[in-house]
A and B are shown apart, each in its own frame.
Chain A
Amino acid sequence: NAGVTQTPKFQVLKTGQSMTLQCAQDMNHEYMSWYRQDPGMGLRLIHYSVGAGITDQGEVPNGYNVSRSTTEDFPLRLLSAAPSQTSVYFCASSYFGSYEQYFGPGTRLTVT
């Protein structure tokens, strides 16, 4: 199993550009989520999905869109990047229920 994979590892964007962060898992997990990690703030939930076709907002959803067309993939879209979105983004997955969550290696995004 590759586990949870994320691409790209690093990305630099200019203000106003759009991009998609990719996340995939090969463990057949129903639950997937996106977090951002900022210094002194810990990890905060952006969006999550409990299965294909079902998504919902987390704590900090503004400026981000998600969709879940397959069990394996959960991309995060930045529609118009802002400097406040400079952060490290982590994708996570698990079986739905009281199970351990697995995290990807992260994408470090800088918006100038």
Chain B
Amino acid sequence: KQEVTQIPAALSVPEGENLVLNCSFTDSAIYNLQWFRQDPGKGLTSLLLIQSSQREQTSGRLNASLDKSSGRSTLYIAASQPGDSATYLCAVRGGATNKLIFGTGTLLAVQP
């Protein structure tokens, strides 16, 4: 059964720092991996989608990498800002259907 883990559960950094959020999964037979942002009391906003054949995707200050063989993905946030404060979730699509298996998230606080 696919399990997705995110470490750390919470992270606090000063503004301007570069940071890395980690996501690991137990079954490497995935179709893709998606990173989401969730603000308090809100829905999920998709940040990046990495297909199983890709190694990384970039969007602005965000860069996500995927190492399928080791079951890991990282989300790199450059020059963090207070507006980046949110919970970041990763989810893997593990089969021929579109079902997503989610991690429990990393709560990020960027201090001004």
Contacts and interface: CB of A to CB of B under 8 A. Distances in A.
B93 A58 contact: no
B55 to A, nearest CB: 16
Interface string B85-105: 000010101000111101111
Given A40-B104, A42-B89, A43-B102, A50 B97 contact: yes
Classify the secondary structure of B's interface with A. Answer: strand
Given A41-B104, A42-B105, A106-B43, A101 B98 contact: yes
Contact of B103 (A31, A42, A105): A42
| Residue with the greatest number of chain B CB neighbours at <10 A, chosen from A50, A56, A101, A108 | A101
Nearest to A30: B98
Interface stretch (B14-22, B44-52, B62-70, B73-81): B44-52
Contacts of B31: 98
B98 A105 contact: no
A108 B43 CA distance: 11
Interface in A60-112: 90, 92, 94, 96-106, 108
A42 B4 CA distance: 10
Contacts of B93: 98
Nearest to B31: A98
A100 B49 contact: yes
Interface in B11-37: 31-32, 34, 36
A97 B45 CA distance: 19
B61 interface: no
B98 A31 contact: yes
Interface of B: 4, 31-32, 34, 36, 41-46, 49, 51-52, 89, 91, 93, 97-100, 102-105
15 contacts: A33-B99, A33-B100, A40-B104, A43-B91, A45-B99, A45-B100, A50-B97, A58-B99, A92-B100, A97-B98, A98-B31, A101-B98, A103-B44, A103-B46, A105-B42
